[in-house]
């Protein structure tokens, strides 16, 4: 992923109002993020613990970026429960993987329609696939695919999810 600015991030959101995008907390450590190893930029909003955001490059988007806001469900599972991330196939205990829901873009989103995807709650899927980060108390599935093929799978699944958000 190319390095992005706060202005580019705020302009990329498709499933919230401009006012909501302007109030959203952006990462303070933007300059330190490992953009070369990211397929998307994801972060939790410190001002709203049940909310996070994701920005990804898309050739068909104005400015080349699509940003979406997502919601976390309240913590419910015990530590013994394990879940699998749909993007990076990392298995995590407890709340390490959550169903993140995104309001659809446009009229459908204003009518309350949303889509969801099971994702790592720390939004570090790109780093797990590349082996740059290890999941605490978690494990990656044994893979026969190369790292490049796993990255392509992650990007394909992310694009499919973003397509669902944009269908609104």
pLDDT tens for each residue of 85-137:
999 998 888 788 999 999 999 999 999 999 999 999 999 999 999 999 887 66
- Quote the CA–CA distance of 110 and 115 in Å, as a whole number: 13
Question: What confidence score (pLDDT) does residue 78 get?
Answer: 57
- List all residues 6 or more positions away from 1 whose beta carbon is below 8 Å from its beta carbon: 35, 36, 38, 39, 40, 41, 56, 57
Asked whether residue 155 is domain-assigned, the answer is yes
Question: What confidence score (pLDDT) does residue 96 get?
Answer: 86
Mean pLDDT of the chain, nearest integer: 90
| Alpha-carbon dihedral 73, 77, 81, 84, rounded to 10 degrees | 0
- Quote the CA–CA distance of 56 and 58 in Å, as a whole number: 6
Asked whether residue 40 is domain-assigned, the answer is yes
Q: Please tell me the pTM assigned to this model.
A: 0.90
Three-state DSSP at 29 gives coil
Q: Which residue range(s) make up the domain with 109?
A: 6-166
Which one, of 11, 58, 46, 35, lies nearest residue 132 by Cα?
35
Question: What confidence score (pLDDT) does residue 152 get?
Answer: 97
Question: What confidence score (pLDDT) does residue 48 get?
Answer: 83
- Quote the CA–CA distance of 37 and 130 in Å, as a whole number: 7
- Quote the CA–CA distance of 115 and 119 in Å, as a whole number: 13
Domain count, the chain: 1
- Quote the CA–CA distance of 69 and 53 in Å, as a whole number: 4
Tell me what the mean pLDDT of segment 39-60 comes to. 92
pLDDT tens profile 56-75: 999 998 889 999 999 988 76
Beta bridge partners of 132: none
- Specify the higher pLDDT residue, 165 or 47: 165
pLDDT-derived band at 76, boundaries 50, 70, 90: low
Which one, of 121, 117, 135, 155, lies nearest residue 51 by Cα?
121
Asked whether residue 1 is domain-assigned, the answer is no
Asked whether residue 100 is domain-assigned, the answer is yes
């Amino acid at each position: 992923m190319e390095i992005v600015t706060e202005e580019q991030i705020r302009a990329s959101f498709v499933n919230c109002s401009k006012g909501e995008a302007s109030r959203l907390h952006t990462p303070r450590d933007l300059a330190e993020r490992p953009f070369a190893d990211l397929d998307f930029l994801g972060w939790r909003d410190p001002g709203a613990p049940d909310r996070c955001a994701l920005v990804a490059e898309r050739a068909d988007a104005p400015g080349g970026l699509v940003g979406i806001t997502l919601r976390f469900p309240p913590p419910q599972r015990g530590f013994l429960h394990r879940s699998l991330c749909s993007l990076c196939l990392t298995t995590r205990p407890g709340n390490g993987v959550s169903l993140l829901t995104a309001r659809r873009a446009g009229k459908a989103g204003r009518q309350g329609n949303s889509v969801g995807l099971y994702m790592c709650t720390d939004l570090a899927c790109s780093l797990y696939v590349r082996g740059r980060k290890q999941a605490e108390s978690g494990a990656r599935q044994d893979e026969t695919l190369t790292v490049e093929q796993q990255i392509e799978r992650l990007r394909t699944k992310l694009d499919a999810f973003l397509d669902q958000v944009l269908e609104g």
